[in-house]
Amino acid sequence: MSVKLDQTGSSVFAEVAVVALSKAEEAAARECFQVYDLHETGFIPREDLAELIAEQQWCLDPARTQSIVDARVGEEEFVSLDQFLAIYKAILAKQPSAVRKQKTSKKSAVAPTRIDIQDLRELEGFQRAAFEELDVEGNGFLGMEQLKEVLRLMGIPDSDGDDYDRTLASQMQQGMLKKEGYVNFEEFLQYRNAVIARFVEQSKKDAYEEHTEPE
């Protein structure tokens, strides 16, 4: 994975290029769009786009998702299919291939796409590159603030809005993380997985509450 500096000089991860959507990915994206294109006009209201994206449960920070949408839709009130495909493609660009395959397999009732060893290696490489970028001393450890910065750079959602502190405290209480203030790569993966699990749990809870609210 390539790394570059933004305008402030901060290190950020360059977006992984996606040359084109696969046939399965494009079919999944079109199917999502058609659910909201009730009158088959080729356009959906912009306010419906946020709900459509939320339903996909991408593990991407809302601020980054919004920047992707703004860059491709601007101030327009309606979103075309082509614009949505561009948004879908841009979000996929921030997902490792293993995640992309999982997403496609959920949409395929005929031949689910398997994640192979190469995908797993790429996923680990993606995470290790993020870890090593902030391991400035090269000793194989990150401090808590560096750990949080890696999660932010990777676009991992902060479900509780507390800079990941709640999940960090929970992991320490369970003995999953040490209290010395530093984590190695394996401990970083444990924490990252816990943050993602928290995000999925909160997303399911929010979706349940939304559908059970009295009209």
Contacts of 185 (CB under 8 A, 6+ apart): 128, 131, 140
Closest CA to 3 of 14, 15, 19: 14
The structure's pTM equals 0.49
Tell me the β-bridge partners of 11: 5
pLDDT at 206 over 80: no
At residue 80, the pLDDT reads 97
| DSSP letter, residue 180 | S
pLDDT confidence bin for 186, thresholds 50/70/90: confident
Cα 152–Cα 158–Cα 159 angle in degrees, nearest 5:
165
Please provide the average confidence, as pLDDT, over all residues in the chain. Answer: 74
Query: What is the residue whose two structure tokens read 């921030």?
Result: 94
- pLDDT tens digits, 32-52: 999 999 889 999 999 999 888
Question: How many of the other CB atoms lie within 10 Å of CB of 55?
Answer: 13
Over range 99-108, report the average pLDDT.
57
- pLDDT tens digits, 134-148: 888 889 998 888 888
At residue 37, the pLDDT reads 94
